[in-house]
Amino acid sequence: MQALGNDFVILNAIAQDFLEEIIDSAFIKNIADRHLGVGCDQVLVIKNSSCADIAMSIYNPDASHAMACGNGARCVASLWMEKTQKSLISIQVCERVLRAWKSTESNQFSQKRSEEKLQDRPNISVDMSQPTFDASLTKKIQEKIPATFVSLGNPHIVVERSVDDLDFVVNAASKIFPDGVNIEWLTVIDEHCISIDIHERGVGPTNACGTGACAAAVVAISKGYCKSPVVVSMQGGDVRVDFDETIVLTGGTSFVFEGKIDYSPACTTSPVE
Contact 89, 224 (CB under 8 A): no
Is residue 75 annotated as part of the catalytic site, yes or no? Answer: no
- Active-site entry in 40, 69, 75, 226: 69
- CB burial readout 215-246, b (16+ within 10 A) else e: bbbbbbbeeebbebbbbbbbbbbbbbbbbeee
Helix, strand, coil % over all residues of the chain, rounded to 5: 20, 35, 45
Residues whose CB is less than 8 angstroms from the CB of residue 65 and which lie 6 or more positions away in sequence, other chains included = 57, 58, 59
- Active-site entry in 75, 209, 214, 226: 209
Q: How far apart are CA 110 and CA 60, in angstroms?
A: 25
Is residue 69 annotated as part of the catalytic site, yes or no? Answer: yes
User: Measuring CA to CA, which residue among 183, 162, 187 is closest to residue 173?
Assistant: 183
CB atoms within 10 A of CB 200: 26
Distance of CA 4 to the CA centre of its chain: 10
Question: Taking each helix axis from N to C terminus, what angle separates 210-222 and 70-84, rounded to the nearest 10 degrees?
Answer: 120
Active site residues: 69, 209
